[in-house]
Chain A
Amino acid sequence: MAEEVILELQNITKIFPGVKALDNVHFDLRRGEIHALMGENGAGKSTFIKVITGVHAAEEGKMILEGKEVHFRGPRDASDAGIAAVYQHPTSYPELSVAENIFIGHEKMKHGLIQWKVMNDEAAELLGRLDADFGPTEEMGALSVAQQQMVEIAKALSTNAKIVILDEPTASLTQNESQKLYKIVRQLRDHGVSVIFISHRFEDMYELASRVTVLRDSQYIGTYDVDKISNADLIKAMVGREISDMYPKPEVKIGDELLRIEGMSRTGFFKDVSLDVHEGEIIGMTGLVGAGRTETMESVCGITKPDAGKVFLQGKELHIHKPADAMKEGIILLPEDRQKQGLILSWGLNRNVTLPIQEELANHGFNDNRKENELSKKYLEEVDTKAVTIFEPASSLSGGNQQKVVVAKALAQSNMKVIIMDEPTKGVDVGAKAEIYGIMGELAKKGYGIIMISSEMPEILGMCDRIYVMCNGRVTGCLDRGEATQEGILTLSMENSAKHEHAETEAHS
């Protein structure tokens, strides 16, 4: 591979009022290289990327692009210079077509009029190169997150970008979709494009990157060759301390059956799903995004109405019509989207924790603030939330700590029996991930039944007693801890047609 350096940043320092967001950071990117950028949340990765893309101007330091020093005054300058960024949450226009999204800002014009045919044709060609299974005239909003990301990549290609920055692109993707993305990224590399790849997943880094730069607490820690640094050393570089055991799965005696679901169906989402969870047991639900895992659990919790199916708790059949019913029985859902469904971001932590127990807490309709503060403090401490006070707004916490608040909220419901965690470590950094696994282990020890919905293979394999795999709305298998392997799960999560595709991906790598 060519050793030519295309982009170099020297001694970059960026100061926000009151904080140093970047402190003397170095970085160099070679032509045709995939370079991973890693670090915990708040380490400064996003700020660093924003300096490269011209969103922020650095107070100190130099940026050298293809041998020339550059000063970007805005994102426009960066994109003109051939730098494109694809963000974790696609920043698209859902009401516009795919082609319009790809060419937004640089529409194909002739005499001041938009050339629809040219644009659609070119978009189709770009999508073809990416192996997309959708056309240029489809509406953006109707696409899945993975497909939207593909559009973003096509957008980067349409500007002939020399440097593509991918910010947590796999965070909302499943294993299978991630594989597809890897393929696309490798293809970009082979065409001479340099890629900066930000991710919390070690899998991503090992699959793709040749070098990795680590940031911690706004500082540059080092740049390493991926094949020369051990996982433990890399974690140490990121976290600043050693994590002895990433998956502290305790040995717990499995008790009586808690929750049993029989023949749950909802047209168009899932069909004939049956599963059970016992006291002290952690079960996993995995599969592709859209396999119906979240939807099934939402129906169990009364958020959506199933067409058929029975729910039993400790052998007694339940009739759940609304979320409050499930909560009353002690079935607690921690939603996947913490910020949208789990928390009220503008509220203090204390109020967030007690939100589901308003009824018990209220004294003749009046809030009992003293009790509220006591209880929330107790549960927030139980999960070791790092916050200055319990009155801080939830928005002021990092992703990992926000997740802990959501767990504290569940714990506050004293009748809790079953806790359903939907992607509990999504967007959470390594250190906090290990802590969340620790909390899950503690909960299992206390005899709660835990259902973890996750697309992340290592945590499913590392934490679960049994693993249910779903595909196209059906449970395709249930694997015990001993017999589960990554391949086994992948095979179950893909149907026959998909199996073929997977084999193809492997042949390529």
Chain B
Amino acid sequence: MHIKASKGYNVFRIINTIVMILVVFITLYPFIYLIAQSFSSDVAVAAGKVTFFPVDFTTATYKYLLKDNKFFRYYGNTILYSALGTVLSVAFTALLAYPLSKEKLRLNKFFTPFVVFTMYFTGGLIPNYILVTQWLHMGNTIWAVVLPGAISTFNLLLMKSFFAGLPETLEEAASIDGLGVYGIFLKIVLPLSKPIIATMSLFYLVGMWNEWFGPFLYLDDDALKPIALWVRQLVEGANSVDVGSTAEASSVQATLKSATMVLTSLPIICVYPFVQKYFVQGMTMGAVKG
């Protein structure tokens, strides 16, 4: 390793650095562009004057958004769906993963393939839609958003392999101490499983925060929509009439899209650097265990 680097390798390293800088730039540019737009005047944005930095710097768009009840309602809905969805999903996933991780349970020979099969063959869009709207009558309710995707089988298998890796002796000792099956799960297994619970929560939380398709299919009621759906409507221009109904609103029409997109992504961008390692771990764990 200490052999003098060749001239060709030095050239390569310079090129490599340039490539990396390019990738970093291309990755970040759309964010920079959105942020710059959101702090620019509506006129400058509509004229296409913004590229890197805000033009005619103003916080008018954000001021408008912070006064907009609608924005808060959508944002609040997203928070509510994300919180409820995450709790529900993690609980369901843990409840199923724990017994499936027990080799002594003989019926797992049936249940494991029963669950895994759904990774490769799903009912598809139409039967799901009919089930939720026509049979369960969950249209326009929060349940249509949080229930259909409550368990991700991929996450389930991750959690199962984590549980399977816990030392059996601890549970046996607790059993001898008189703890029942439920007590062992609550007092021994769950406290030991904080890392996987954190990972699962993050996986579900980000998924739920970004979710738009379920709400798009099942929520017609404006009051129930999450922020992602609102972003879609802004981008599609479907609500331009709605947005431009007041003089103040029409003065931020062009910048409203970018500001809403920035605020939608902000929590993720802020939290992401600190939790990135959990995602990476989850990803590699999934690959190893298959």
Q: Do A and B come from one complex?
A: no
Give B residues with C-beta under 8 Å from A: none
